[in-house]
Amino acid sequence: MLGRENIERVAEHVWEIPRTFRQDMRVPARLYADQDLLDAALLDNSIVQLVNTATLPGIVKYAIAMPDIHQGYGFPIGGVMATRLPEGVISPGGVGYDINCGVRLLVALGSVQEIQPYLEDIASRLYANCPSGVGSHGPLHLSNAELQRVLHDGSRWMLDKGYASLLDLDRTEEFGRIAGADAAFVSDRAQERGRSQLGTLGAGNHFIEVDKVAEVYDDAAAARLGIYSGNIAVQIHCGSRGLGHQICEDYVSRFQKTARDYGIELPDRQLVCAPFDSKDGQEYFHAMACAANFAFANRQLLACMIRRSFEEALMGKVKNFELHQVYDIAHNMAKVEEHYVGGRSVRVCVHRKGATRAFGPGSSVLPDDLRDLGQPVLIPGSMGTASYVLIGTKGAMEETFGSTCHGAGRVMSRAKAKRMVRGTALRDQLKSRGILVCAGSMSGLAEEAPAAYKDVARVVEVVHKLGIGRKIARLEPVAVIKG
Amino acid sequence: MRGFEEIDHTADRAFRVYGRDMAALLENAARAMQALDGPRPLAEPSATREIEVEGVDRETLLVNWLNEILYLEQAHRLVCTGFQIYEVQDHHMRARVETCEGGRSLTHIKAVTFHNLQLRETSEGLEAELVVDV
């Protein structure tokens, strides 16, 4: 059992479970939270899952949990784990089924007030143009060769086909294409599942949301990103759909044997892994990169369909509704990066499972025009609540492998949320607060009730105070499209 | 003997499944997953499918079997309504599944995980706890 007595306070909002807590831990486990968020994390198995990740071969520094930590499977959600290469491992279960699940933010120069009379029309067009639900099919029918290009090139394929602009790519993590993708390591079944799903939202906690920029905390930084108070913003939250799910499933199943072959002993079978530079580790990495590129392309096509929906609803009626991309970030991914560990630059494989890359000013991987500012970080709240735009910091580079939180984090199970909340009542309640909701499933809506989540403002306040993310703006929802 | 029951899980869904033997456990696990968040059939079963699954051990067999059902439902838009397990060994199983055309899949389950999965032998047979990603 793990209780409050096993957790040491290191500094304000910084907690640690020492390596001595369990014999199989290779590094301490570190949790960033205020007192209440720590107490919430102790209500389920989140912290045990965090300790489990501290046992993985090659892990350096700490197993890290963000303030939005909650119980997942294998890794906790809100977890960051870096392994030293070449001997450190890569874990498909650590990345999860929705490879490169992430968030894209678009903004317009027009105000929400101007589009308010047309909001219902916008919401219905978004719902019609952006297919949702687990098995939904998208607008493109890709040949085998085209799918292979998407897996290899990600958003660049979208640029070639006219579904993206150069600015969209510039404002996407990895510029919309992660290196190392090789479709030879993606099963036929995964390709079959992905072929028809490009441009679809999926289900669960995935959404498209029309927002109002409710508050700006740093005018100069926000202006650099095109964010102004009162203006229109749109968020897309989704990932690699059935293709990513199948790739994870294929490799987690295969690695049940692989991990044993490498003599890796694990406290949880979902944590199966292989040395990064091994044949098995590399094959998973090639396949994962394909799913990551598919997800970048998926959010790009959805952005295109959203722009089309805005045009259909607003052309000739209001001005300045054109949507410009602020940024697109991944929050389920394993990436090869260089970080300082013990004063030395080390090549590591950073697993972010429900955590966001948050590179600070000066990072060479940022687009030229944002390099001195830092990377935009997008933190969606739970349905009907605020979301935040942050900027990556030097503090995140030093403390958390350039990572920060990813959202609110659940505190209530889906089953309990459904027992406590009726989907139709929630929809009406949100409508009375000026938030339109289009959802494919009322029970799915109930599962995502705001009461099932932690307070995102509190989560963001912790990372802001710790200096592993800097608040730039707050968004409030006016219309939500859910699978 | 109980077939299955849902257990609490913060972010995803989880259930405990029972069976007097491995075949019954596999059948009950499929029924549990359908009851938890599976698509609802809109018509009588119209076809049967033979399914063959392999795994390095019984736990892997169980997960691979359930993921096979999800694949049929999500990639082929079928609803699986009846499950007959007619051959089970430690690394291999064969089953016959009744299906109907389900139209748009309603299931929210993305995949079945190995999280803390361990088949336990009890005085009544076997039991296991499964977490599914939603």
Quick: pLDDT tens for A250-277. Answer: 999 999 999 999 999 999 999 999 999 9
* Cα angle, residue A352 at apex, residues A196 and A347 outer, rounded to 5°: 115
Which residues, including other chains, have CB under 8 Å from residue B55's CB and lie 6 or more apart? A253, A256, B61, B62, B63, B64, B91, B92
Contacts from A145-150 at CB under 8 Å and sequence distance 24+? A147/A183, A147/A191, A147/A194, A147/A195, A148/A183, A150/A198, A150/A293, A150/A294, A150/A297
Chain A from 293 to 312: CB within 8 A of any B CB:
none
Contact A413 B63 (CB under 8 A): no
Q: Flag whether A209 is in a domain.
A: yes
Contact A415 B6 (CB under 8 A): yes
From A13, A70, A245, A406, active-site residue: A406
Contact B114 A256 (CB under 8 A): yes
Secondary structure E strands in A277-318: none
Q: What is the CATH number of the domain that holds A117?
A: 3.90.1860.10
User: What pLDDT shows up at residue B8?
Assistant: 83
Q: Flag whether A424 is in a domain.
A: no
Per-residue pLDDT of chain A (483 residues; tens, 9 = 90+): 789 999 999 999 999 999 999 999 999 999 999 999 999 999 989 999 999 999 999 999 999 999 999 988 999 999 999 999 999 999 999 999 999 999 999 999 999 999 999 999 999 999 999 988 766 778 888 999 999 999 999 999 999 999 999 999 999 999 999 999 999 999 999 999 999 999 999 877 899 999 999 999 999 999 999 999 999 999 999 999 999 999 999 999 999 999 999 999 999 999 999 999 999 999 999 999 999 999 999 999 999 999 999 999 999 999 999 999 999 999 999 999 999 999 999 999 999 999 999 999 999 999 999 999 999 999 999 888 999 999 999 999 999 999 999 998 778 888 888 888 888 998 999 999 999 998 878 888 888 888 888 889 999 999 999 999 999 999 999 999 987
Q: What phi and psi, each to the nearest 5 degrees, are found at residue A201?
A: -90, -35
Tokens of A252: 């987690």
Tokens of A248: 């994870």
User: What pLDDT shows up at residue A329?
Assistant: 98
Q: Flag whether A335 is in a domain.
A: yes
Distance from CA of A463 to the nearest CA of B (A): 22
Indicate the pTM of the whole model. Answer: 0.95
Residue B88, chain A, CB below 8 Å: the answer is: no
Residue B35, chain A, CB below 8 Å: the answer is: no
Instruction: For residue A459, give Cα distances in angstroms to A35, A469, A479, B77.
Output: 11, 11, 23, 39
Distance CA A364, CA A352 (A): 20
Q: Flag whether A445 is in a domain.
A: no
Q: Which residue carries 């197993």 as its tokens?
A: A63
Q: What phi and psi, each to the nearest 5 degrees, are found at residue A106?
A: -115, 145
Q: Domains of chain B (ranges plus CATH)? A: 4-133 (3.55.10.10)
A351 is catalytic: no
Distance CA A172, CA A376 (A): 10
- Which of A192, A193, A269 minimises the CB distance to B117? A269
Contact B74 A97 (CB under 8 A): no
* Cα angle, residue A471 at apex, residues A469 and A477 outer, rounded to 5°: 120
Residue A44, chain B, CB below 8 Å: the answer is: yes
Residue A242, chain B, CB below 8 Å: the answer is: yes
Q: How many domains does chain A have?
A: 1
Query: Closest residue of A to B112, CA-based?
Result: A249
Distance from CA of A157 to the nearest CA of B (A): 24
Burial of A179 (0-12, 13-18, 19+ CB in 10 A): exposed
Q: Flag whether A48 is in a domain.
A: yes
Distance from CA of A211 to the nearest CA of B (A): 25
- Domain region containing A388: 4-411+453-482
Distance CA A460, CA A373 (A): 19
**DSSP letter, residue A202:** -
Distance CA A314, CA A310 (A): 6
Give the mutation candidate from A98, A256, A411 for the B interface (greatest B CB count, under 10 A): A256
Determine the 3-state secondary structure of B7 from DSSP. strand
Distance CA B60, CA A449 (A): 34
Contact B115 A242 (CB under 8 A): no
Q: Report, in angstroms and rounded to the nearest whole number, the Rg of chain A calculated over CA atoms.
A: 21
Q: Flag whether A425 is in a domain.
A: no
User: What pLDDT shows up at residue A160?
Assistant: 97
Q: Flag whether A431 is in a domain.
A: no
CB A183 within 8 A of CB A191: yes
Find chain B residues with C-beta within 8 A of A93's C-beta: 113-114
Which of A469, A479, A477 has the alpha carbon at shortest distance from A217?
A469
- If one compares B122 and B105, the residue with the highest pLDDT of the two is B122
pLDDT digits (tens, 9 = 90+) for B49-81: 999 999 999 999 999 999 999 999 888 888 888
ipTM associated with this complex? 0.91
Residue B56, chain A, CB below 8 Å: the answer is: yes
Contact A245 B131 (CB under 8 A): no
User: What pLDDT shows up at residue B70?
Assistant: 92
pLDDT digits (tens, 9 = 90+) for A182-225: 999 999 999 999 999 999 998 778 999 999 999 999 999 999 99
Give the mutation candidate from A197, A249, A453 for the B interface (greatest B CB count, under 10 A): A249
